[in-house]
Amino acid sequence: MPIQLTSQAYCKMLLHAAKYPHCAVNGLLVAEKTKDKKKDSHSEPVLCVDCVPLFHGTLALAPMLEVALTLIDTWCKENNYVIAGYYQANERTKDSRLNQVAEKVAARISENFSESAIVMVDSSRLTMSCFEPIVLIYDHHENKWKSREVTVDSFEDWSEAQKITSALLENRCYENLIDFDNHLDDLRNDWTNPVINKSVLDLC
Amino acid sequence: MASVSEMYDVGWEEMRDKLRKWREDNFRNSEQIVDVGEELISEHGSKLGDDIWIIYEQVMIAALDCSRDDLALTCLQELRKQFPDSHRVKRLSGMRLEALERYDEANKHYDAILQEDPTNTAARKRKISILKAQGKSTEAIRELNEYLEQFVGDQEAWHELSELYINEHDYGKAAFCLEELMMTNPHNHLYCEQYAEVKYTQGGLENLELSRKYFAQALRLNNRNMRALFGLYMSASHIAASPKVSAKVKKDNMKYASWAASQINRAYKSLKRFVKHLCVTNAINYIHFSNRI
């Protein structure tokens, strides 16, 4: 039921926010598709292994979002992933509220994945050292999005996530992060971010 | 730490030209501007001649973006010495106060400029930016509307207003702003394409048809605009799938959609590095049956 973030998912979200500090950014979280849908698997956390950065700037327009959801969904199917969540960092650092855009996209994701979550990035606490997690995680309960307490258990391995994110921020790796907007500007830009994924792997 | 000139093997002229390009294209790559500009000023300041003043301004603004108040203050002080009564420099002082979140002081600064020169557009726009930074979107929209009644030709302002409206989900008014921009810039494919996106988001058959037309127009103006191509595909597909259209409209839109799909596939295939997971054919079929957001 609750989601858990791997280091790769967490650091790419933060790199995306760091690359466009003056813009709102958003993206999708993906999890590995599990074969069983038993009732008791509800207590198992959903591990978000990766994220796909989507847009920066104006987030509230539909057409490119629909294109992105469709292409990424296809990519997920080919890699045995499922879109499990959505992240967003608002334009103003002091504002980390969940807004209409987040709700709309998450509602769409929920059609295919009932336990989807919204992750809001609190940019006001973004530091190089990443000494604390700066995400707010929301689950859908009774038609409302409720935030849950973010602890070390919200991560597959918090100290690894912290170490890797901090290192990548220091090295300005966010300059090489590709989001879907970059891909639309130039199709050669690969939104799966193989270069950053490799850097993460090297630091693990 | 290695200097920029060492790392990239460039001379001071190239650094100066790069800064000029970034200035002309209005890029906000502030960290790079700070890196290049700081070195250029400190190592080669004497060679820059009168260019140095505009570079000080550019580097100062970039420094504010990067929380480098030390560098921003240095640039500002040089500019103040050289241009003691300049409103342009006063505006930069105001921006520094904004960056330090001293909004009340910044506003006083801009009000002082406007007292001396009520037509100073830069100061008025900074005041609106402060409202935006404080999250006061309604006030920002109201002030910007008032500003545009006086300064109807300010394209940057129309574009800013369209973005403010989009963030408030007021797509009708955003479309109006983009219509103003399209009227004065009929060859700008980006405005066409954004207008089409707004119309698509507004929804409804009439808006979808308009959106398709403007995606097509954007494509005519720039046949490499991928957003326009995808947009054409999406809007045509949705129109074709609508139960409210006649058989002819359905047929026409399926033709447009399939043309767009083939162009999209061509664009992906033409990439020398054809990456398998970017295979669009399956995705295109999937979009046909997806619901709209």
Domain ranges of chain B: 1-82
- CB contacts of A64 in chain B (<8 Å) are 197, 227, 230-231
- CB contacts of A71 in chain B (<8 Å) are 278, 280, 283
Chain A contact for B197 (CB, 8 A cutoff): yes
Q: What is the pLDDT of residue B61?
A: 96
Distances (CA, A) of B182 to B104, B145, B189: 36, 18, 9
pTM of the model: 0.92
Q: What is the DSSP letter of A37?
A: -
User: Could you write out the DSSP letters of every residue in A105-136?
Assistant: HHHHHHHH-TT-EEEEE-GGG--SS--S--EE
Q: How far is A22 from chain B (nearest CA, A)?
A: 8
Contact B277 A184 (CB under 8 A): no
Contact A70 B286 (CB under 8 A): yes
Strand A3-5, strand A46-56: pairing:
parallel
Please state, in angstroms and rounded to a whole number, the distance separating the CA atoms of residues B92 and B226: 38
Size of interface A-B (CB pairs under 8 A): 90
Q: What is the pLDDT of residue B278?
A: 45
What are the tokens at A92? 């103003």
Could you tell me if A98 and A120 are in contact, meaning their C-beta atoms sit under 8 angstroms apart? Answer: yes
Buried b vs exposed e over B117-147: b needs ≥16 C-beta within 10 Å?
Answer: eeebebbbbbbbbbbbbeeeeeebbebbeeb
Q: What is the pLDDT of residue B79?
A: 96
Please state, in angstroms and rounded to a whole number, the distance separating the CA atoms of residues B199 and B171: 7
Nearest to B200 among A63, A73, A74 (CB): A63
Q: What is the pLDDT of residue B8?
A: 80
- CB contacts of B280 in chain A (<8 Å) are 71
Alpha-carbon torsion (A143, A145, A146, A152), positive or negative: positive
Could you tell me if A83 and A109 are in contact, meaning their C-beta atoms sit under 8 angstroms apart? Answer: yes
- CB contacts of A92 in chain B (<8 Å) are 133, 135
3-state secondary structure of A58: coil
- CB contacts of B167 in chain A (<8 Å) are 58, 60
Nearest to A66 among B133, B279, B293 (CB): B293
Q: What is the pLDDT of residue B270?
A: 83
Cα–Cα–Cα angle for B23, B52, B108, nearest 5°?
75
Nearest to B293 among A74, A104, A187 (CB): A104
Ranges under pLDDT 70 in chain B: 1, 272-293
Please state, in angstroms and rounded to a whole number, the distance separating the CA atoms of residues B24 and A155: 44
Number of Cβ within 10 Å of residue B222's Cβ equals 15
Distances (CA, A) of A161 to A5, A47, A149, A165, B184: 9, 14, 18, 6, 50
Closest to B61 measured CA to CA, from B104, B16, B95: B95
Mark which residues 73-132 of B lie under 8 Å from A by CB: none
What are the tokens at A142? 């009774």
Q: How far is A79 from chain B (nearest CA, A)?
A: 9
Nearest to B283 among A65, A74, A184 (CB): A74
Nearest to B167 among A60, A70, A184 (CB): A60
Contact A63 B230 (CB under 8 A): yes
Q: What is the pLDDT of residue B289?
A: 42
What are the tokens at A90? 């608002």
Domain A3-32+44-198 belongs in CATH node 3.40.140.10 = yes
Could you tell me if A118 and A88 are in contact, meaning their C-beta atoms sit under 8 angstroms apart? Answer: yes
Burial of B150 (0-12, 13-18, 19+ CB in 10 A): exposed
Residue of B nearest to A185 (CA): B226
Q: What is the pLDDT of residue A204?
A: 84
Q: How many residues does chain B have?
A: 293
Residues near B42 by beta carbon (within 8 Å), at least 6 away in sequence? none
ipTM value for the complex: 0.93
Which mean pLDDT values do the consecutive 10-residue runs of chain A (204 residues) have? 89 96 95 69 79 96 95 93 96 93 94 92 92 93 89 92 95 95 94 94 89
- CB contacts of A100 in chain B (<8 Å) are 169
Could you tell me if B268 and A189 are in contact, meaning their C-beta atoms sit under 8 angstroms apart? Answer: no
Contact A62 B293 (CB under 8 A): yes
Distances (CA, A) of B276 to A75, A203, B271, B281, B288: 9, 27, 11, 11, 21
Query: 3-state secondary structure string, chain B?
Result: CCCHHHHHCCCHHHHHHHHHHHHHCCCCCHHHHHHHHHHHHHHHHHHCCCHHHHHHHHHHHHHHHCCCHHHHHHHHHHHHHHCCCCHHHHHHHHHHHHHCCCHHHHHHHHHHHHHHCCCCHHHHHHHHHHHHHCCCHHHHHHHHHHHHHHCCCCHHHHHHHHHHHHHCCCHHHHHHHHHHHHHHCCCCHHHHHHHHHHHHHHCCHHHHHHHHHHHHHHHHHCCCCHHHHHHHHHHHHHHHHCCCCCHHHHHHHHHHHHHHHHHHHHHHHCCCCCCHHHCHHHHHHHHHCCCCC
Give me the helix-helix angle, B137-150 and B121-133, nearest 10°.
160
Q: What is the pLDDT of residue B132?
A: 96
Cα–Cα–Cα angle for A60, A62, A67, nearest 5°?
130
Residue of B nearest to A181 (CA): B227
Residue of A nearest to B266 (CA): A187
- CB contacts of A175 in chain B (<8 Å) are 31
Closest to A51 measured CA to CA, from A187, A180, A185, A138: A180
Q: What is the DSSP letter of A44?
A: S
